[in-house]
Structure 1
Amino acid sequence: MSKGQRAAQDRSRERRAIAKARRRRLRKAAARSGAAATVAALAWGGLVLPPATAADGDPVLVADIAPGAGDSFEDWDMSASAALGEILLFAADDGVHGRELWRTDGTAAGTRMVKDLAPGADGSWPGAFVTFGDVVYFSARSAPGTEDGLWRTDGTAAGTTLVVPDAGVGEMYAWRGRLYFEGYDEAHGSELWSSDGTPAGTALLKDLNTRTETYEGTTHPESSSPFSFTALGDRLYFAADDGDQTELWATDGTAAGTRPVVDHPPEDFFHARRLAAVGDTLFFSGYDTNGEELWRSDGTPAGTRMVVDLAPGSDPMYGPNKTRPNNLTAFGQALYFEAFGSLWTSDGTAQGTIRVTDADTVDDIADEYGDLIATEHALYFSGHDDDHGYELWRSDGTSAGTALVQDIYPGTSPRYGREYPNSSQAHVLGRTPTRLYFTADDGSHGRELWSLSLADVPTTPGTPGTPTTPPSGAPTPSACAPATAAATTAQAEVAKAKKRLAKAKKAHRAAAVKAAKRKLRKAKKAAAAAAAAQAAACG
């Protein structure tokens, strides 16, 4: 099991106690109202639910995998899937077998567990799904306490086999007829591995971090833990820790051809992550003395640079202000990403990096779990507004073309002495050619599998992937555009901080009020610095 999956499993255990308490409350409420739900029978042949009554184009509940109010998915199960034609393969927990390998064709009858890879209630914890030819490769453990092995499946129980046991498989990527992934052995730690999909063709490609560390008298190898694989041109790019920095690396598939794009000195404290390719440009989130900002690269040291500093200045206590670009996604001919709770786009230039949405459209975009996926006609993400909570949203890349898909968990619930909108916490799981799959909690079934027909996506204004008119308050391209963008962003953060403080005061939560005041002070300092920078840049 990779370090990320171990951490995820730990978070899962912590959440289960909260989830159980929530399910008890739901059952009691249902019993009081006389509307206790009847649960469909779970069988190896599939799950049975009443026929969907939603209109064409509306999201539908595919199957209640963990019957009743139980959750078959965790709230961090984002993009943990792979498609074989119209079949989606993913990991789910039915409450009996633990977290195991499942498949769906978009119907309740066609949704079933593929194979119980690790019998027992703990499950095998499949992950790192990647389509490779006419099969899907993934990571899973054979028993509790073992490292994740490399597995393959054609979507059937007989066609699901273990390729390499205890390989410590992390993130995986298919490129030029081979798999590239984070793999583990005791001699090297977690390093860059490659496979042709067979046991004999699976081996360490290169040890990127050759250092060792001694703990309690035992010497262990350090790990580079490569991640965020993205192909561009004739190279595969990724981020990895060489012992000094988390650098941007590139490989041509050979050990000799695997090297950092830029080898920063240790004192630079550089960190790269969240890679995405658009056209002939590689974008990523890079951290240096400017904080964490949007970067771009053409694969050369000279062509690797920051695009724009959207959060200039620094705080004496917290260091440089940070934009933290999240969910970098190619859509059309542009890059889209989340920052400051809004959707942004960039063409790779400072003046071409603009905010698409603001608080008048959607006041927050979930950024924690990589929840932004592009189809041919739209971007989908988990968004929030004050009327609906966190639900599934869709955008054509313009402010006017960004809207709520459906309020899956309508209504309100009392919290801290006032009513707040319910949230389905919808998060995108994956897609097939004709359907988008996501997980959501409608308040009755727990977090379950939902889908949306992509064939029914309405045509929205604007050219997909190309923003039309920037929203009100967004900067227009000019010499002072980056500074204006930063100042606008900083002022928006002040407004958000004030809003949070007001909510905390209404709820009479002393700790929350204290934290909100601290964030407001920080936001005001950043806004003052941004305003000064704008005045200097724009004259």
Structure 2
Amino acid sequence: MEDAAGWEEARVVPESEASVDAVTEGDAALSPWIFSQPWAVCSDTAQRVMDIRPGPLGSQPQGLARAGEVLVFSADDGVSGRELWASAADARSISRLRDVRPGPAGSQPRDLTQVGRWVYFVADDGQHGAELWRTDGSTAGTALVRDMRPGPVGSAPEFLTHVDGTLYFTANDGQSGRELWRSDGTERGTVRVHEFLPGPGDLALNQLTAWDGGLALVSSEARETVVWWVGPTGAPRRVFSREGAGVIFGLTAAGRHLFFLLDPGTEVGELWVVRDTSLAAERVRSFPGDYPAYLTPMDDVLYFMAGAADWYGNPGDAVHGGELWRSDGSTAGTELVVDLRPGALGSMPKDLVVMGDALYFSADDGVHGRELWRSDGRAAGTELVRDLEPGPVGSAPAGLTVEEGWLFFSAETAGHGREVWYSAGRPWGTSRLADIAPAAASSNPFDFVRAGWRLFFVASDGARDQELYSVPFRPWFLCFSKDC
């Protein structure tokens, strides 16, 4: 685990030395051995951590992220506006980290992005405008990184992206327009990488993506759209360009390959690939109908949904409909994985995530309704995980998130509404937490993040709107500790 390696004075604890009662939440000596053990959900009941904003509105937590082993997020307590909050060392309580902008307006923290033990975010303290901040989960460690555009307007950083311990983003310093920047977390180490458009004008830079030890991104203007690769030295290299009409989207790194989609102005999605050996783009295949969606890498292979008709009625794959595809970057290796629902409708796989050596997604095979599936990339290795809501409607799993070898998601079942489910990828390892909202009401949980020995998420109990909840989640033998 990357986080575990960052703890000072950590040591490997032999199994014979492990003491259930000696290791508690927030312990600063969390060892790699402890983290390497199989994890377990230790209770079927989640608890509201704190009612930050009493009453029906709720504090609406957003942007849950982990700083070391501390959870940080933004919330509005109804008095101080939206500010940054964090869990305590034992993860049993939370408090506001810092009132960055005193008063009801709040600093509006957003784009929380983990880089090592730090979480970077954008906030407006009312004096510097929207600028780059960072936190380690403590009040003292929450600070402005650099005032890149002095004055109340701010540089408004966007597209915060982690690349090998460095944060990349776009910002407007008021002189060079919106350009590419990077930061090591210090004021001196926060610098502009390259001026893609000299002068004060703005060039649209977006889709920042970590790949091949550097950063891939797209620039676009009226006359040209370009895919770039920026190496560790900061020197950009053109990978692909398109003059005139056309839009590039879906930039996705998959091991040695960088994939992207191009609509050349014909409303047909073309899949392209860039290989790390040449940094040259090649067209792989065209997909009529709706654009390929849910692009998800597993090793060097890209998985996605393709073949569906689009919103305008343009037909996709009339034989298979929207189904699961894969591409290894070659034309021959870009193929349908499995036809789960024969016919033009297709199973419409969504919310693709990778856990271990398998791909998980929701799909509707026309028999079980929309349910949770898994695949090893082969038709024979694609199977239903569990039919959570028997019948043609299905449980419609959503928000699939992987944490420590478990899949967390929301699903809707009769008599329980939409609640938290978790799965180890097999029918016997798939369970529901006790209802947060009573009976058939739904708590609508989302944003699952592990921090310390707990799994946090946002939900509503029906009487009040969204607040922060958690459930004990830790290496299996710690489930027997006194504090669980």
Matched with 1:64 is 51
Match of 2:144 in 1: 162
* 2:101/2:107 contact within 8 Å kept: yes
2:161 aligned partner: 173
CA distance in 2, matches of 1:123, 1:106: 25
- Does residue 435 (structure 1) correspond to residue 454 (structure 2)? The answer is yes
Give the deviation of 1:342 after TM superposition.
Answer: 2.4
SS for the counterpart of 2:236 is: coil
1:375 corresponds to 2:362: no
Q: Would you say the 8 A contact 1:297–1:305 is kept in 2?
A: yes
Counterpart residue number, 1:347: 376
Identity of aligned residues (%): 35
8 Å Cα contact 2:50-2:94 kept in structure 1: yes
How far has the Cα of 1:174 moved from its partner? Answer: 1.9
**What are the ranges of 5 or more consecutive residues in structure 2 without an aligned counterpart?**
1-41, 148-153, 241-257, 271-290, 309-315, 365-369, 478-484
- Ranked by relative contact order (alpha carbons within 8 Å, sequence separation 6 or more), the top structure is 2
Structure 1 pair 134–192 and aligned structure 2 pair: CA distance change class (3 A):
same
The 1:278–1:263 alpha-carbon spacing in structure 2 relative to 1, beyond 3 Å, is closer
CA 252–295 in structure 1, closer or farther in 2 if over 3 Å, else same = farther
Partner deviation per Cα, 1:352-402 (whole Å, 9 max, x = no partner): 4444344429933354xxx22112242111110121111111112123432
Corresponding residue number in structure 1 for 2:14: none
| Counterpart contact for 2:227–2:239, Cα < 8 Å | no
Instruction: Kindly provide the amino acid, as one letter, of the partner of residue 327 in structure 1.
Output: D
Secondary structure class of the residue paired with 2:474:
helix
Shift of 1:249: 7.6
**Aligned partner (choices 402, 411, 419) of residue 391 of structure 1:** 419
How has the CA–CA distance of structure 1 residues 207 and 324 changed in structure 2, closer, same or farther, with 3 Å as cutoff? farther
The one of 134, 137, 140 equivalent to 1:152 is 134
For 2:178 and 2:346, how far apart are their aligned partners in 1? Answer: 29
Alpha-carbon displacement from aligned partner over 1:126-168 (angstroms, at most 9, x marks no partner):
2222232332211223349x96421111223332122244333
The structure richer in helix per residue is: 1
Query: Matched residues in 2 for 1:243 and 1:301: separation?
Result: 31
The equivalent residue for 1:13 is none
Aligned to 2:95: 112
Distance 1:400 1:192, change over 3 A: farther
- The residue type paired with residue 332 of structure 1 is G
Question: Aligned partner of 2:84: which letter?
Answer: L
Does the CA-based 8 Å contact 2:100-2:107 persist in structure 1? yes
CA contact (8 A) 2:408 2:448 kept: no
What is the aligned partner in structure 2 of residue 363 from structure 1?
A: 394
Distance of 1:385 and 1:433 partners within structure 2: 30
CA gap of 1:160–1:262, structure 2 versus 1, over 3 A, is closer
Residue 225 (structure 1) aligned to one of 206, 221, 235: 206
Do residues 278 (structure 1) and 310 (structure 2) align?
A: no
Label 1:353 to 1:205 Cα distance change in 2 as closer, same or farther (>3 A).
Answer: farther
1:194 aligns with 2:188: no
Does 1:134 find its partner at 2:117? yes
Quick one: distance in 1 between partners of 2:223 and 2:422?
Answer: 40
Match of 1:426 in 2: 445
Q: Equivalent residue for 2:16?
A: none
CA spacing shift, 1:445–1:133, aligned 2, 3 Å: same
Map residues 313-352 of structure 1 onto 2, 5 A cutoff.
325-340=349-364, 341-352=370-381
Task: Tell me if structure 1 keeps the 8 A contact 2:44–2:433.
Answer: no
Structure 1 unaligned segments of length 5 or more: list them: 1-54, 211-218, 315-320, 412-420, 459-539
CA contact (8 A) 1:245 1:266 kept: no
With the length of structure 1 as denominator, give the TM-score of the two structures. Answer: 0.57
Do the aligned residues in 2 keep the contact of 1:99 with 1:122 (CA within 8 Å)?
yes
What letter is aligned with 1:360? P
